[in-house]
A and B are shown apart, each in its own frame.
Chain A
């Protein structure tokens, strides 16, 4: 089966990518599988300067899901490019740099820095993180702001494809998707986490120091599928689906509703070889269902 996918100029050998924030800088998972077997590696969100993130506790386990309020702790773009990227097999597997900034100027500067690195194949713009004070999800909740950020990044990305990662924490995700498409995005990825909280009735305290956090894991899959279905029908650029993918069948569900590729997030925590196993199992699961061609299966959901 031909598993290759074209995401607006970014070619993947298979549709299995890792989701930012759940796969570190990639190297953390190298002992558990062959990074070259993945369709793409999306690394931890990068900012211009290193960030320490939020206070602890930053994680809470919830039914079939988890809440995080890491707050985009990262080593900064320069250190990533210098110390981590050379260790990744970027010639064999595209490395996508996820980027976060507090304003459009900073987004542009960061995009220029990351796109100029040979080993960075594409940029994923994070306008949907619910765990930071400035910027974050605010950019992703306003179609006009989302478009401005997209334009700013696109202007500095050169020939590198730009993918914009959307938040489900909006009334109309299609409006945001159309806005970033209009602003020149080459692809869209969705969904980022849903804002949630968990509390402890004994201590009467929130379970996260940040009080609220981003919900991910199998619990959010129905929301993610809905968003991918709505957006992929409304835009003509490729859509990358994520949110609770924990099996090959889950990945096929996202492809069925229109996703060109998928990203694996929380399942990387269920076992560190999950993404590698998924890349191996996906074609077998497709064949078992009688699917011989992913491109004709993609978006073939029969509705009504």
Chain B
């Protein structure tokens, strides 16, 4: 049986990410490590402060950005009531956490690997780069709208080759897709790993297919339990079967999921 935990652990720190994080709803949260070991980059945890009572009802899934012996770090975007409530947590306040959950990204030390992060989708790549046995084989292409300082971009830049693209208007997106195609084509024979909004994942899937590059995509989905029981977060596979994003994903091989 996989080793997982459900514990109430204290908040160590919660703060906007960088000087412009507050204005852009981008935050960094650190919790005491509930006992997570052997976290695979791309895995996530469910977080629910007991102080919520019954409203909001569900825990919220957050991608694990960094798993250290003493703490786990999350980067998140304020997207609704639950994530907004995370920003009001105080240091020392307990949060019920369970995980690590789901399937992480493939790690292939010999393969040139392109990491594609869209916005807050950059988060799991911090752990990926920090634990990869051959970081010299890694490159990150980061697409974003708020300033780079709102994300752990510099943290990644200290470990691997990074490149960013800020889209300020919708007209910028085709230029980003052009760049994405160029980088994916350069990784023929390697691996492309992507996390971000669904349109980005769809582009990665299509371009990887076009250039014969193996690709994985990390899906984001509304979840109630996170453990495969509620069947609320299903994605569809090419055979038309509905599969749980929480346990069969969130990281899928791109050809095994319909986007």
Which residues of A are interface residues toward B (Cβ below 8 A)?
21-24, 28-32, 44, 52-53, 56-59, 61-66, 68, 70, 73, 217-219, 246, 266, 268-273
Contact = CB atoms under 8 A, between A and B. Distances in A.
Given A58-B231, A63-B55, A217-B57, A273 B242 contact: no
Interface in B1-52: 1-4, 6, 48
Given A31-B1, A31-B2, A53-B242, A268 B54 contact: no
B12 to A, nearest CB: 21
A61 B56 contact: yes
Contacts of A53: 231, 234, 242
14 contacts: A23-B229, A28-B228, A29-B229, A32-B6, A44-B229, A58-B231, A59-B224, A63-B54, A73-B242, A218-B57, A268-B229, A271-B6, A271-B59, A272-B225
Contact of A269 (B1, B222, B225, B247): B225
B222 A59 contact: yes
Contacts of A68: 224, 230, 232
A32 B2 CA distance: 10
Given A217-B54, A218-B54, A273 B6 contact: yes
A28 B2 CA distance: 10
B55 A270 contact: no
Interface string B97-132: 010000000000000000000000000000000000
A270 B57 contact: yes
A22 B57 CA distance: 14
Nearest to A52: B242
B248 to A, nearest CB: 12
Interface residues of B, number: 30
Contacts of A219: 54
Contact of B232 (A31, A63, A70, A218): A70
Nearest to B225: A269
B253 interface: no
B227 A29 contact: yes
A63 to B, nearest CB: 6
B227 A272 contact: yes
B86 to A, nearest CB: 15
Contact of A70 (B226, B228, B231): B231
Contact of B54 (A21, A24, A64, A73): A64
A52 B96 CA distance: 31
B206 to A, nearest CB: 22
Given A30-B1, A52-B242, A57-B222, 10 more contacts: A32-B227, A58-B232, A64-B54, A64-B55, A65-B57, A68-B232, A218-B57, A269-B58, A271-B6, A272-B98
Contacts of A52: 240-242
Contacts of A217: 54, 57
Contacts of A21: 230
A196 to B, nearest CB: 14
Contact of B231 (A30, A73, A268): A73
A59 B55 contact: no
A61 B225 contact: no
Contacts of A272: 6, 98, 225-227
Contacts of B4: 31-32
A21 B229 CA distance: 7
A57 B230 CA distance: 13
Contact of A246 (B54, B59, B226, B241): B54
Top 5 A-B pairs, shortest CB-CB distance: A24-B229, A59-B232, A31-B4, A64-B54, A269-B224
| Most A C-beta atoms less than 10 A away, residue of B56, B224, B228 | B224
Nearest to A51: B242
B57 to A, nearest CB: 5
A119 B233 CA distance: 30
A31 B3 contact: yes
B52 to A, nearest CB: 9
